[in-house]
Chain A
């Protein structure tokens, strides 16, 4: 397979996955925002959302001060934000067009349909300036569905060859990054069981975290307990049954890299790095992680994950 094709497949999958994550983050933030609170209880929802999207710095550069309207715009349709939903879907289609031959008709149609729908939302915005709340909720639903369609069509229709494994790598490297960033923003809320539990607002923030990774229901199935912060951390880091947990992502990354090595007959640094990260997660317990500091653990994970992404690029000649 052409190296450029592999590169595009990888980033195409990352863009679609990121669009979904941003949409979920916005939804969760809107729910937080609707909660009745006193002035002293301001939680800085939008600052959190921008941070979780890795867009806080570029947002402040452009706007200087935070407002809900501006933050929403920045995360959804802003051309200036490389990770806005609009840019994710646009980039996905550009990458998809460039590797049209490596996609099945179903996968291409999923990407193209998502883009056509985006164009309809954009033109309706041109008429009405901004989306109303109703329309915004429809938009976010559509983004989540577009990502599902894409992922599902890949899973159901792509040949299990290189192209598929690069696609999977893109999905899971991005997903691991997303989950880790969310944890990074909220780590101060996710305290071990030994610490005093905060007020009701904290509770809703924990639930918001779960919603952002579509795990609110899953939590209850796994723990059969009310929402507790240390269990949220456990769910999102170490529960391999939870598809967005760091360990589940690394299980999939490890498998995809193994499949590539098997097809090529060549195993390299990427395989070794991924295996080491997976093994480390398997060995870890939440007690240890809290002892060493959740924040430190997550920061290190985000760096390692980014390093793996560039190792993959180097090993498969993307650059």
Chain B
């Protein structure tokens, strides 16, 4: 099955949206493209945008490769995506409010109860609790793929601590510096107000509206975390303190940070630390990344934690396939964005179907992330499939399967010329007490290895700048 190329590389006929990009690629000598690629890498290394790869000691700090050819999405396409993303974020928040509260959805038997109550990401500590302003997922990264000129699918929801937004912003800076002419020939929707939008979102969910301006901090696991660059980048852009667990303490159920002027009260914590490490008194007792007493302060309503504790259940792959039903149930609307058809191996009929078609399907661990713990059937050897099949049979409910989608491709620039590579898109959806905010675009991830479908940075994926541009004349 041939993949849909967003520029029209495969069919030989350039799509109107990409006319300028195609011309630019055509007219620019290969040496100039090469020098742009080198400049881009130099710029990234100099600013220090690096990430750590777990288990790779030699390359403690690596660059995520950046491809200079921008990825274009028309404004009309974006409007559709935006409406669908807003709807999805609303449903996720209502779902979390419900399962830690009334549990209407279980009473109506929309979801099998054991998928919730036995789910490792369901936090019993949060049962009966409401998040401030009923917002649980303040920052969602919703991964979207495209298969043809019309269809977009949601591949997965990231409702815990999604990362990548710093790349979205830095990619734009680099593109504007390196490709000013091409940029000027388009009317590209700006993304640089993301930090302000995030700040407004976090302000809106502060617990004390009367005590003046809320004190917001970003909580990082520390400089050795793979996403540390992003944490410091965001703190800098927001103008808030970047704290580690040891910088905070709790007294009388209130959270304070240690400053040179003594303790200072904290109202909102944008945490980039997983639930398990947040508070050694409640979760992992060995954690030194968290703050003893934080959960107590949160339950007392004295601090807002974003994202809230217990959101992991909303991006669980076992829950994913129910999201269209959740949207109908909570919003009485039809889902605007499609889900990828998903076979739940916990269901015997589905399991049988999956085991018979391992060579055609993508099988994922329900709780895996970062592209680990998955089988891409068509690309796997018979031995790999057999091995993975045994793992599925040993614990079927831990797996789901999806058809291999023909992910769309975009042109990418290499030494040997321009060639198509598979891409996805992660827009960032901000939910505050005053509504949903989405900056136009997101992070396009690109599988740089030829034919590869894995876009994760930990496995050789790169990124591209994503331009939401005016619809070309003469097309709808």
Chain A residues close to B by CB (< 8 Å):
1-6, 94, 97-98, 100-101, 105, 108-109, 112-113, 116, 162, 264, 266, 316-317
Contact = CB atoms under 8 A, between A and B. Distances in A.
Indicate the member of B48, B229, B247, B261 with the most A CB atoms within 10 Å. Answer: B48
A101 B259 contact: no
Given A97-B228, A97-B232, A317-B258, A2 B45 contact: no
A98 B229 CA distance: 10
Given A4-B247, A317-B260, A101 B46 contact: no
A2 B232 contact: no
Contacts of B247: 2-4
B223 A97 contact: yes
B243 interface: yes
B177 interface: no
B290 to A, nearest CB: 16
Interface string B258-271: 11111000000000
A53 B375 CA distance: 57
Contact of A3 (B45, B236, B242, B258): B258
Contact of B242 (A101, A108, A316): A101
Contacts of A266: 261
22 contacts: A1-B259, A2-B243, A2-B247, A2-B257, A3-B258, A4-B244, A4-B258, A94-B223, A97-B48, A97-B223, A97-B228, A100-B232, A100-B236, A100-B242, A101-B235, A101-B242, A108-B47, A109-B46, A109-B47, A116-B46, A264-B261, A317-B262
Nearest to A98: B223
B47 A101 contact: no
A1 B232 contact: no
Interface residues of B, number: 24
Q: Which 4 A-B pairs have the closest CB atoms?
A: A100-B232, A101-B236, A101-B235, A316-B260
A3 B47 CA distance: 25
A2 B223 contact: no
Interface of B: 45-48, 222-223, 228-229, 232-233, 235-236, 241-244, 246-247, 257-262
Contacts of A5: 241
Contacts of A98: 222-223
Indicate the member of A2, A98, A105, A266 with the most B CB atoms within 10 Å. Answer: A2
A264 B260 contact: yes
A116 B247 CA distance: 29
Nearest to B238: A101
Contacts, number: 59
Contacts of B232: 97, 100-101
A108 B48 contact: yes
Contacts of A94: 223
Contacts of A109: 46-47
A2 B232 CA distance: 14
A112 B261 contact: no
A162 B259 CA distance: 11
A184 B160 CA distance: 57
A39 B390 CA distance: 79
Contacts of B46: 109, 112-113, 116
A113 B43 CA distance: 11
A137 to B, nearest CB: 26
Nearest to A162: B260
A134 to B, nearest CB: 26
Contacts of B45: 116
A112 B48 contact: yes
B266 to A, nearest CB: 11
Contacts of B229: 100
Nearest to B45: A116
Contact of B259 (A2, A97, A100, A112): A2
Given A2-B259, A101-B242, A116-B45, 5 more contacts: A2-B257, A4-B258, A112-B47, A317-B258, A317-B260
Contact of A6 (B233, B246, B260): B260
B372 to A, nearest CB: 26
A3 B260 contact: yes
A94 B244 CA distance: 15
A55 B223 CA distance: 29
A197 B247 CA distance: 57
A105 B45 CA distance: 13
A33 B309 CA distance: 65
Contacts of A4: 244, 246-247, 258
A317 B48 CA distance: 29
A3 B262 CA distance: 8
Nearest to A8: B223
A97 B262 CA distance: 24
A94 B222 CA distance: 11
Nearest to A6: B260
Nearest to B232: A100
A271 to B, nearest CB: 14
A3 B243 CA distance: 10
B114 to A, nearest CB: 44
Nearest to A316: B260
B48 A2 contact: no
Contacts of B244: 4
A97 to B, nearest CB: 5
A108 B258 CA distance: 24
Nearest to A95: B223
Indicate the member of B242, B247, B257 with the most A CB atoms within 10 Å. Answer: B242
A108 B236 CA distance: 12
A37 B233 CA distance: 57
A159 to B, nearest CB: 12
Contacts of B260: 1-3, 6, 162, 264, 316-317
Contacts of B258: 2-4, 317
Nearest to B248: A2
Nearest to B239: A101
A150 to B, nearest CB: 15
A4 B243 CA distance: 9
A4 B220 CA distance: 14
Contact of B241 (A2, A100, A116): A2
A97 B228 CA distance: 9
Nearest to A163: B260
A100 B49 CA distance: 12
A105 B237 CA distance: 12
Contacts of A162: 260
A2 B48 CA distance: 23
A185 B243 CA distance: 42
B76 to A, nearest CB: 37
Contacts of B241: 1-2, 5, 101
Contacts of B246: 4
B235 A3 contact: no
Contacts of A100: 48, 229, 232-233, 236, 242
A162 B233 CA distance: 20
A109 B42 CA distance: 12
A100 B261 CA distance: 20
A101 B257 CA distance: 16
